[in-house]
Amino acid sequence: MKFTLSWLKEHLESDASLDDIVAAMVSVGLEVEEVENPAERLAAFTIGEVLEANKHPDADKLKVCRVATKDGEMQIVCGAPNARKGIKIAYAPVGAYVPGIDVTLKKAKIRGVESFGMMCSAREMELGDDHDGIIEVPAAAAIGDPVAGWLGVNDPVIDFEVTPNRPDTNGINGVARDLAAAGLGKLITPQPQPVKGAFPCAQKIGLRFSEQTQGACPAFTGRIIKGVQNGPSPQWLQDKLRAIGLRPINALVDITNYMSYDRARPLHVYDADKLKGEIHARLGECGEAFLALDGKEYAIDETMTVIADDNGVLGLGGVMGGESTGCTPETTRVFIECACFDPLRTAKTGRKTGINSDARYRFERGVDPAFVMPGLEMATRLVMDMCGGVPSEAGLAGNIPQADHVVLFPPSEVARLTGMEVSPQDCERILTALGFAVAKSDPWQVTAPSWRPDIGGKADLVEEIARIIGFEHLPTQMLPQRAAVEMPKLTLSQDRRRLARRALAAHGLHEVVTWSFMDARAAALFCPQAQQGGEDWLKAQGLILANPISSDLAAMRPSILPNLTAALQRNADHGRNDLALFEVAPIYRGDAPDAQTNVAAGARRSNPPRHWQGMATPADAFVAKTDALVALEAAGAPLASLQASNDAPPWYHPGRAGVLRLGPKVLAHFGELHPGVLKAMDIDGPVHGFEVFLDAIPTPKKKPTKTRPALNASELLALTRDFAFVVDEDVAAAVLLKAVQGAEKKLITGVRLFDVYRGKGVDDGKKSLAVEVTIQPQDKTLTDEEIEVIAAKVVAQATKATGGVLRT
């Protein structure tokens, strides 16, 4: 919302400087966004006088002028028809920036004649649309004076944010009231005086609502003014509107705009001769439509309040009027509408139609119902002043809503909520200055003014008092300590994410943060029913956004991997093709709170750099497995109890990927991503990834102490024995390892698989798995015979479990 300093001063008698006013606005909660003084923008333009204007020797329409300026006498070539001897003009010297044509002036030669600077039109100085000639300044102006003062633009424009709770500050009078309360001056807003009607209002006004819907427009007043002459509004009004960025149209329209900004009171003026029958407010009907003043046609439905007559819909109440009954220069008989419209309905209608008008903005936030009649009177006077005419009596349909709201208010609330000690006298003074009526019973009964629909309870009054006193007076207090030393604050889940994150970064992967939403097509490839058409699943789970920022960010992610692989590709596209990324963040398997789970996921694209000692091994499924285990271990999963199986979900390579389980619980997926899935996403493979489901890790049992079990380090030397077993190709190594480990649970303390061999000496379809078994004697050295017994057990168990044979 913009206003000029001079306009404010029509409501506020004050000697305060611009800076003080801006500071006070900020302090009371009117957040100033920008202060612009057009005089500063026009600082380069000064008064000059045309001493001589002669025809250009080589151009009919150009004149060569001698101009007296602050820089002395200058020769300027000018094309304006009004450039003539003796006028005072706006001079822009060489080097000045002319905003209207976006040019910094240089010395020029125009058709062979040198020209030093420019004499400017209104449009060139961005003071209006006029470009028929150069601006003429009153003769009294002295050469060298800044032009701004002489053009009436020496008036700072203040732009501030109107918060939704303060509809009264949509009018400049509302701003003035706050400033007066804050001690910046005296509120002098004039009260509109009723105009006596010269004849009865012939225009019938009606409200056609049911009992349930009458709140849509509780009151509708209006009157006829006949014999008006609509034309351009007076200069003062045009200047005012232009200064705040509005375009003057004609007097009748300008008056409604003026009242919107001066008093936050939208109105509508109809050409009364174009109305047929009773003008009335009612709800719209489906199928109706109307052509609005913005030249667009809008469809009406039964939720919207319309203004209509016998010809149909004339406008959307409180939003925008229609083309058919608008005022033109030919209009001589007008009907002024001043009504109340329901804020919520207005907001809905505005949102549905997409119309952003000053009227909608005001009505959806709340317009002072008590100002309906005064508003009509004020508008009537303005019309009569500018367009002449004779008013009828005012007509009223419905009842003006009573908006006075009483709040029971103990002044001690101020200290309770803010910690500020404010005397009851100051509380009363502030509330009264803001228009509240204070009855000092116990507790106080405070009546909110009709223009403050935001006031609901005690806390609102506390805010009124506190903001006028100023938040700079808030005391600085510390919360009381809860414990001498605070206890740990992170939940198990939070701590797991922290640990997984730091472990993965320490392991060489970079942490990224990517969108929670992604392309639905990519998401479909990574969801539980990817093979049965994942998009249906996404829809059924409620994971598709209705209004995504773009179509490629429309689905909540069921996995982080698509984002990671896309990020790997982007990095590869500018040359980083050896990279490992991870993210510890949520995925979504539905729209319920428990369908959001925390995942640590990572992906690698591996092209190890050459090194003089030999290249590192490129990533494979086992590197991804290590990554997963790093995250799992950090997050506290019992690694020794995990089982691996090769039934990874379909976005992984069917042969080179696996699942890590703890009993039936899936803790992780890992492996090479499916080449077909990567291709569908336009990603170059191979990419190896993992997904660790942090929330699936069981909660560790709470121990009563931090004590660890005693260390059992044997004095006796451990010994190792190697075994190789030839087994069928499809025997899983884990089966062998488990069997060997279990052969002598007490004494076998380690089994290390150190070789997988296929080829000469091993039949086709078979492989040889070699393990090193560590045997740790417990209380005495083992004899050769005892060791042989253990070895025999190992072989027996291994053979039994795998169907393999000891390789000899």
Partner 1 sequence: MTELTELEHDLLARIDAVENEAALEDVRVAALGKKGAVSERMKTLGKMSADERKQMGPALNGLKARITEAIEARKATLAAAALDARLASEKVDITLPARTSPKGKIHPVSQVTEEVVAIFSAMGFDVAEGPDIEDDFHNFTALNFPADHPARDMHDTFFFEPKEDGERMLLRTHTSPVQIRTMKTQAPPIRIIIPGRTYRCDSDQTHTPMFHQVEGLVIDKETNMGHLKGTLEAFCKAFFEVDSVKTRFRPHFFPFTEPSAEMDIGYERVGKEIRIGQGADWMEILGCGMVHPNVLENCGLDPDEFQGFAFGMGIDRLAMLKYGIPDLRDFFAADARWLEHYGFDPLDQPSLATGLSR
Angstrom distances, CA of residue 557 to CA of 21, 84, 118, 536, 584: 51, 72, 61, 14, 13
Token couple for 302: 């039964």
Q: Do 284 and 306 touch, CB atoms closer than 8 A?
A: yes
Alpha-carbon dihedral sign for residues 724, 730, 732, 738: negative
Per the listing, tokens 């719209």 go with: 284
Q: Which is nearer to partner 1, 543 or 736 (CB)?
A: 543
Q: Which is nearer to partner 1, 288 or 460 (CB)?
A: 460
Rounded to 5°, angle at Cα 195 from 190 and 200: 155
Angstrom distances, CA of residue 504 to CA of 499, 634, 652, 690, 692: 8, 9, 21, 12, 12
CB of 55 to partner 1, least distance (A): 52
CB of 443 to partner 1, least distance (A): 12
Q: Which is nearer to partner 1, 111 or 502 (CB)?
A: 502
CB of 552 to partner 1, least distance (A): 12
Angstrom distances, CA of residue 37 to CA of 18, 121, 170, 558, 773: 10, 19, 21, 54, 87
Q: Which is nearer to partner 1, 236 or 612 (CB)?
A: 612
CB of 374 to partner 1, least distance (A): 25
Token couple for 268: 């509508």
CB of 334 to partner 1, least distance (A): 31
Task: List CB contacts of 635: < 8 A, sequence separation 6 or more.
Answer: 496, 497, 499, 500, 600, 692, 694, 697
Task: List CB contacts of 529: < 8 A, sequence separation 6 or more.
Answer: 536, 537
CB of 474 to partner 1, least distance (A): 5
Residues β-bridged to residue 115: 108
Alpha-carbon dihedral sign for residues 301, 302, 306, 312: positive
Token couple for 538: 């996404």
Q: Which is nearer to partner 1, 491 or 532 (CB)?
A: 491
Q: Which is nearer to partner 1, 579 or 795 (CB)?
A: 579
Q: Which is nearer to partner 1, 331 or 541 (CB)?
A: 541
CB of 686 to partner 1, least distance (A): 18
Q: Which is nearer to partner 1, 260 or 324 (CB)?
A: 260
CB of 683 to partner 1, least distance (A): 14
Contacts of range 642-645, beta carbons closer than 8 Å, 24 or more positions apart: 642/667, 643/734, 644/734
Q: Which is nearer to partner 1, 289 or 506 (CB)?
A: 506
Q: Which is nearer to partner 1, 544 or 719 (CB)?
A: 544
Q: Which is nearer to partner 1, 11 or 467 (CB)?
A: 467
CB of 491 to partner 1, least distance (A): 7
Task: List CB contacts of 330: < 8 A, sequence separation 6 or more.
Answer: 230
Token couple for 636: 């506290």
Q: Please name the amino acid found at residue 279.
A: I
Q: Which of 696, 500, 698, 693 shows the shortest CA–CA distance to 587? A: 693
Q: Do 562 and 518 touch, CB atoms closer than 8 A?
A: yes
Q: Which is nearer to partner 1, 343 or 649 (CB)?
A: 343
Token couple for 322: 């229609």
Rounded to 5°, angle at Cα 222 from 219 and 225: 175
Cα separation, 77 vs 110, in Å, equals 7
Q: Which is nearer to partner 1, 445 or 493 (CB)?
A: 493
Angstrom distances, CA of residue 663 to CA of 696, 697, 738: 11, 11, 15
CB of 693 to partner 1, least distance (A): 17
CB of 610 to partner 1, least distance (A): 11
Q: Which of 285, 341, 334 shows the shortest CA–CA distance to 318? A: 341
CB of 666 to partner 1, least distance (A): 22
CB of 464 to partner 1, least distance (A): 9
Cα separation, 200 vs 607, in Å, equals 91
